[in-house]
């Protein structure tokens, strides 16, 4: 009996120790589960559970149920979430220089964005500001080209066509300044509120990627989508730095390998998913409009003040030269 009691006690202590050693990983997605980001998060969850098994307890929260677009940065900093993936511009609230990575009509492909994020000159200028805010950049995921969806009597092809248009944007300078430069009236509201805002006429338009238009079903509330592709939207996956640094080498390596696998999936799938989204919405009756080379030149010219204010003035001439060189490749 004593032997059995001792064995039971040892087993209980072993289970208790294992439970205490299990690492909690809380993932917060401010967008829906069906979109590209939601799917990428699900790949990450599968990879974490496959690679790390009982070493981790993974919690996945979609659709802003834990933190929305505006509150997720603070939630990450406080450790209430361990990994988030906002669009790059959202980080501007704590690290303004990040906005330079999303200057309109600059870095317009996934490959150029990845190159910029790996460039020593660019990293040294931008990433330390995030680290000082308890945020460690651990991956970059693609979203797609941002396109303008709207209700109007005619297609919007050039900046002057957007004059006075009430455009939903994220409340970050890079998005606000972009549409102010076009003469539009940017309105900062959460994406989850956009369908109602479009229905009620609070806004006339929004500018998100094709997969976001389709995944949220918000395309149902606009008549047109112009393929402005003014920014190639991407997500910076941020980890709570204190949590990240506190992981064991083994667990951190497993988490990073999982992030790398999810990133590889995302890089392959983003072009296909966005193209399919445009085809689907066109079949549903949304009028899709391409821009000519001359139209794009007019938009790019209108955005030069934004390059100066949120580019050169913030990160300096040397960083802007690197970004422009990468964009020109």
State the Cα–Cα distance between residues 63 and 67, nearest whole angstrom.
9
In the prediction, which pLDDT does 98 show? 93
* Token pair belonging to 223: 């008549």
The H or E element that residue 200 is part of is: helix 194-200
Chain CA centroid to CA 210, Å: 14
CA atoms within 13 A on the CB side of 127: 19
In the prediction, which pLDDT does 185 show? 98
In the prediction, which pLDDT does 2 show? 52
Is 165 in contact with 150 (CB distance < 8 Å)? Answer: yes
Question: Domains of the chain: which residue ranges?
Answer: 2-328
In this prediction the pTM is 0.82
In the prediction, which pLDDT does 207 show? 97
Among candidates 31, 49, 108, 37, which has minimal Cα distance to 269? 37
In the prediction, which pLDDT does 327 show? 94
State the Cα–Cα distance between residues 318 and 39, nearest whole angstrom.
37
User: Could you tell me which residues are beta bridge partners of residue 187?
Assistant: 168
State the Cα–Cα distance between residues 328 and 106, nearest whole angstrom.
9
> Hey, what CATH class is 2-328 in?
alpha beta
In the prediction, which pLDDT does 286 show? 98
The H or E element that residue 58 is part of is: strand 56-61
State the Cα–Cα distance between residues 186 and 183, nearest whole angstrom.
9
Q: What is the pLDDT of residues 141-186, one digit of tens each?
A: 999 999 999 999 999 999 999 999 999 998 888 999 999 999 999 9
Quickly tell me which residue has 């204010």 as its tokens: 309
Which residue ranges in the chain fall short of pLDDT 70?
1-20
Contacts (Cβ under 8 Å, ≥6 apart) of 32: 38, 62, 63, 215, 216
* Token pair belonging to 7: 């064995």
In the prediction, which pLDDT does 20 show? 54
Is 221 in contact with 195 (CB distance < 8 Å)? Answer: yes
Is 137 in contact with 127 (CB distance < 8 Å)? Answer: yes
In the prediction, which pLDDT does 292 show? 97
CA dist list (Å): 273 to 37, 193, 210, 276: 11, 24, 8, 5
């Amino acid at each position: 009996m004593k032997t059995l009691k001792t064995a039971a006690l040892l087993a209980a202590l072993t289970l208790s120790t294992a439970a205490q050693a299990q690492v909690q990983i809380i993932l917060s997605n401010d967008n829906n589960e069906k979109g590209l980001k939601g799917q990428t998060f699900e790949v990450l969850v599968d990879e974490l559970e496959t690679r790390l098994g009982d070493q981790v307890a993974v919690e996945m929260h979609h659709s802003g149920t834990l933190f929305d677009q505006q509150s997720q940065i603070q939630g990450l900093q406080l450790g209430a979430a361990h990994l988030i993936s906002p669009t790059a511009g959202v980080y501007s609230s704590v690290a303004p220089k990040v906005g330079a990575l999303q200057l309109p009509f600059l870095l317009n492909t996934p490959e150029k964005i990845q190159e910029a994020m790996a460039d020593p000159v660019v990293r040294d200028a931008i990433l330390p500001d995030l680290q000082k805010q308890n945020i460690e950049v651990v991956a970059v995921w693609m979203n797609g080209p941002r396109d303008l969806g709207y209700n109007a009597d005619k297609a919007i092809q050039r900046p002057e066509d957007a004059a006075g248009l009430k455009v939903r944007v994220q409340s970050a300078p890079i998005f606000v300044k972009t549409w102010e430069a076009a003469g539009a009236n940017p309105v900062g509201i959460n994406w989850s509120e956009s369908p109602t805002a479009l229905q009620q006429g609070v806004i006339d338009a929004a500018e998100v990627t094709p997969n976001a238009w389709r995944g949220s079903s918000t395309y149902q509330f606009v008549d047109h989508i112009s393929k402005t592709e003014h920014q190639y939207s991407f997500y910076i996956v941020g980890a709570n730095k204190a949590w990240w640094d506190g992981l064991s080498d083994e667990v951190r390596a497993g988490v990073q390998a999982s992030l790398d696998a999810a990133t590889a999936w995302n890089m392959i799938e983003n072009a296909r998913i966005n193209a399919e989204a445009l085809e689907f919405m066109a079949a549903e009756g949304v009028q899709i409009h391409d821009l000519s080379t001359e139209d794009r030149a007019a938009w790019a010219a209108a955005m030069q003040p934004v390059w100066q204010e949120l580019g050169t003035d913030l990160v300096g001439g040397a960083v802007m030269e690197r970004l422009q060189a990468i964009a020109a490749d």
